[in-house]
Amino acid sequence: MLVSAKDMLVKAKEGHYAVGQFNINNLEWTKSILLTAQELNSPVILGVSEGAGKYMTGFSTVAAMVREMDKNLGITVPVALHLDHGTYDGCYKCIEAGFTSIMFDGSHYDIDENVAKTTELVNVAHHLGLSIEAEVGSIGGEEDGVVGMGECADPDECKRIADLGVDMLAAGIGNIHGKYPEGWPGLRFDVLDAIQQKTGVMPLVLHGGTGIPADMIKKAITLGVSKINVNTECQLSFADATRKYVEAGKDLEGKGFDPRKLLAPGSDAIKATVKEKMELFGSVGKA
Ligand code: 13P
């Protein structure tokens, strides 16, 4: 059931668990994530980066695929279709395409411009029933061409953006997209704590979910994180399972080259990763 992310995140914050955002790249990704959410009776957010949207030939293609797949698979758990790290123009394109949620990443603007653009997009999104995520303090690393320096967010700036009425707030707390480098010092819980104290009930978003140790994830949830984004980890599981299939020569046995067979181990691997994360985030049974 396609919905905005607002209610599921309010419930998650109150219930002290987090909803996973899993990024999608194609049909296999989407189907694997939807089926796992349904099986585990968990709410879920499908994240679409601008690069992935382009790859899938446009946001309207993505919205049509997700909407029809949701219906044809009989998905009853809440599913939000969310733009990940959206530009100002990208937000409008996703609104028009029928997404149910957007992220405006204004973290590379100065705070006044971030506030101005976020204010405008909050009004438009809410008028149309979409939820909206904003960002303060960039997430480190690179995701689909979006590069962040990884500075920690200023809690006062977080409060300014939270007060605009956004539904969820991404704040840099030492998190990084992609694999964490050797010697990464870990999440800045002092910064997260200060942000939560300033922003109160606002659901906070932890980007860069790949590779964050389970104890840090659990602690972040106790400090107000209600949405956790995972992208690279599904890609790694998919690639690993596909490599094993090919290296074992399975594509050369019978009709093992049939894409429905060739992509099956990778799809199952995505399902296993999503399940593991939903269990860790505590969203199982919370639909
Ligand atoms: P990872 O690729 O590190 O899991 O990060 C995903 C993310 O934050 C999407 O916005």
Ranges of the chain with pLDDT below 50: none
Instruction: Assess if residue 91 is contained within a domain.
Output: yes
Cα of 134 to ligand 1 centre, how many Å? 15
Active site residues: 84
Q: Where are the alpha helices (DSSP H) in the chain?
A: 6-15, 27-39, 50-55, 59-72, 88-97, 111-127, 155-162, 189-199, 214-222, 232-247, 259-262, 264-281
Cα of 248 to ligand 1 centre, how many Å? 30
**pLDDT at residue 142, as a whole number:** 72
**pLDDT at residue 181, as a whole number:** 87
Instruction: Assess if residue 263 is contained within a domain.
Output: no
Cα of 207 to ligand 1 centre, how many Å? 5
Cα of 118 to ligand 1 centre, how many Å? 21
The answer to whether 233 touches 255, Cβ cutoff 8 Å, is: no
| Ligand 1 atom closest to 141 (CA) | 3
Return all residues near 66 (Cβ < 8 A) that are at least 6 apart.
2, 24, 30, 46, 79, 81
Pocket perturbation via mutation, ligand 1, pick of 19, 85, 210, 276 by most ligand atoms within 8 A of CB: 210
Nearest CA to ligand 1 atom 1: 208
**pLDDT at residue 137, as a whole number:** 82
Instruction: Assess if residue 217 is contained within a domain.
Output: yes
Return all residues near 247 (Cβ < 8 A) that are at least 6 apart.
none
Instruction: Assess if residue 255 is contained within a domain.
Output: no
Q: What is the pTM of this model?
A: 0.96
pLDDT in tens, 102-148: 999 998 899 999 999 999 999 999 999 999 999 998 777 777 777 76
Residue 94: give the domain boundaries: 6-239+270-281
Instruction: Assess if residue 264 is contained within a domain.
Output: no
Residues framing ligand 1 (Cβ under 6 A): 23, 47, 84-85, 143, 177-178, 207-210, 229-233
Instruction: Assess if residue 244 is contained within a domain.
Output: no
CATH code, domain carrying 152: 3.20.20.70
* Number of domains observed in the structure of the chain: 1
Nearest CA to ligand 1 atom 9: 229
Instruction: Assess if residue 35 is contained within a domain.
Output: yes
**pLDDT at residue 149, as a whole number:** 64
Instruction: Assess if residue 286 is contained within a domain.
Output: no
**pLDDT at residue 223, as a whole number:** 98
